[in-house]
Structure 1
Amino acid sequence: MLPRVNQMLFFEIASADEEEAAVEYKARIADELEDGLLIENPLNITSGRMKRLYLGDELSVYYVSDEGIKHYFDSHVIGFRDDVVKLIKIRKPDPERITKIQRRHFLRVSADLEIAVNLSGNVRFVTVTDDVGGGGISFLCDGKWPITSGMEMDCWLLIPYKNGTLEHASFKAEVVRVVDLATGRKQVMSKFIAISDSERQKIIRFCFERQLEFRGR
């Protein structure tokens, strides 16, 4: 389903500045053209201030369907049109490149990301993930660490984005399954049990970018 006129778009703007890249904006679709969408001037969701966009600005966009499903796509500013108010023209998404994320189903992607893990008893270590998603992560670690199913972990994940910025996402996860590998290492699969919406969105954004990267190869 493509976004339609009067629907609200939510997006972040690619930026080398880490704080700017994390700011979320919203803008209403004013009109639909054959090759693009015309949106109103975006507003900073937190401050309510208007944001000026420039030709070529890259946007990570999502909109929510009536069923509550988030649809993600990448776009960029391709022009402007003077109407009663100035409208911004962005590239219309290719239906094949829209990622859908339902409330209880999150995209997972393979990724080697650095993660710090804190177990009970003040046991701490740093390792790398096997895959990540909006609902949980799995990672590989040394077999000496005392990890079992049902255990809770406090984690800090280092997330690199395609614009060069880095983010940290913190969360509490519960171990769902532990697999002892022939190499002597462990594969630990977990689900999030305590994570803020803003921290989850950081992970979802990374998954979305990684999926588009895979599709483009």
Structure 2
Amino acid sequence: MLPKVNQILYLQVNSIDPEEAMQEYKSRIADMTPNYISLEVPIHATTGKLKRLYAGDQINAYFMTEGGVKNYFNTVVLGFKEEVIRLILIKAPVEEQITKVQRRNFLRVPAELELAVKLNDQLMFTAFTDDVGGGGVSFLCDSRVPVKRGDMVDCWLLLPLRNGQIEHAGFKGEIVRIKTLENGKLIIMVQYTEIADSERQRIIRYCFERQLDVRKR
């Protein structure tokens, strides 16, 4: 399903500034053609401040459909059109480029990513993930680490993207399962309890890229 005229599109601008890359904006779709989408000037989703875009800006976008499904795609600013108001032209996706994500059915992929974990004020350590997804992560740690089911953790995940950028995603989570491996290591399964939508979108983007890489092998 493609987005429609008058639908709200949520945007994040790819940036080398991690703080800017986390910001989410929204814009109304004014018009559509097979080649481009015309948008009103985006505003910050929280502050309402206008966002200036430039030709060539790389954009991560999504729109909502029934049942809380988020439809993600990547696009680029093509240019501008001056009408009664200024419109921004972005490249229109084809339907095959849109990935649907429902909160109850987040994609998970195997991945060995660096994860900083804060268990409490006295215990902080780094680990490597076993898999990651839009709903949670699992990571490996030493059996000497005093973790138990129900513990709450603060985490910071490093995400290497296909464009060569390294992005980060922070979240709070609950340990929902612990499994002991034959080598004595523990696999800790964490479910997100607090995560900004922009952070979740960043993780989901990594998962999609990872899945594409696996399919190409």
Q: Normalising by the residue count of structure 1, what TM-score does the alignment of the two structures yield? A: 0.85
Question: Does the alignment pair 1:152 with 2:147?
Answer: no
Q: Tell me which amino acid in the other structure corresponds to 2:187.
A: Q
Cα drift, residue 212 of structure 1: 3.2
CA distance change for structure 1 residues 25 and 213 in 2, over 3 Å: closer, same or farther?
A: same
- In 1, the alpha carbon distance for the partners of 2:206 and 2:69 equals 18
- Of 204, 208, 212, 1:211 maps to 208
Change (3 A) 1:161 1:8: farther
The answer to whether the 8 Å contact 2:61/2:72 transfers is: yes
CA offsets per residue over residues 179-217 of structure 1, 9 Å max, x none?
A: 32233322222223x314x1x531332321441354265
Of the structure 1 ranges 156-165 and 43-52, higher mean CA displacement relative to structure 2 is found in 156-165
Match of 1:36 in 2: 36
CA distances 1:57-111 after superposition (whole Å, capped 9, x unpaired): 1001011113221111111112222222222111112222222121322222333
- Tell me how large the CA RMSD over aligned residues is: 2.4
CA contact (8 A) 1:159 1:169 kept: no
Contact 1:6–1:29 (8 Å) recurs in 2? yes
- Confirm or deny that 1:175 pairs with 2:172: no
Q: Give 1:165 deviation, angstroms.
A: 5.3
What does 1:6-155 correspond to in 2, within 5 Å? 6-119=6-119, 122-148=122-148, 150-155=149-154
Is the 8 Å Cα contact of residues 119 and 153 (structure 1) preserved in structure 2? yes
Q: State the Cα deviation string for residues 7-53 of structure 1 (Å, max 9, x = none).
A: 00011101112222121111111111121211111112233222221
Letter in 1 for 2:38: L
- Structure 1's 174 and 157: CA in aligned 2 closer, same or farther, altered over 3 A? same
In the alignment, the residues of structure 2 paired with residue 98 and residue 156 of structure 1 have an alpha-carbon distance, to the nearest angstrom, of 29
8 Å contact 2:116–2:156 — kept in the other structure?
yes
Judge which range, 129-138 or 152-161, deviates more.
152-161
Checking the alignment, whether the CA contact within 8 Å between 1:154 and 1:172 is kept in structure 2 is yes
The question of whether the paired residues in 2 share the 8 Å contact of 1:18 and 1:165 is answered with: no
Maintained 8 Å contact 2:133/2:207 = no
* Counterpart for residue 4 of structure 1: 4
Quote the Cα distance in structure 2 between the aligned partners of 1:67 and 1:168.
Answer: 26
What's the % identity of the aligned pairs? Answer: 39
Question: 8 Å contact 1:115–1:155 — kept in the other structure?
Answer: no
Equivalent residues, number: 212
Gaps of 5+ in 1: none
Distance in 1, matches of 2:184 and 2:36, equals 53
- Segments of 5+ residues of structure 2 without an aligned counterpart are none
Contact 2:14–2:57 (CA under 8 A) maintained in structure 1: yes
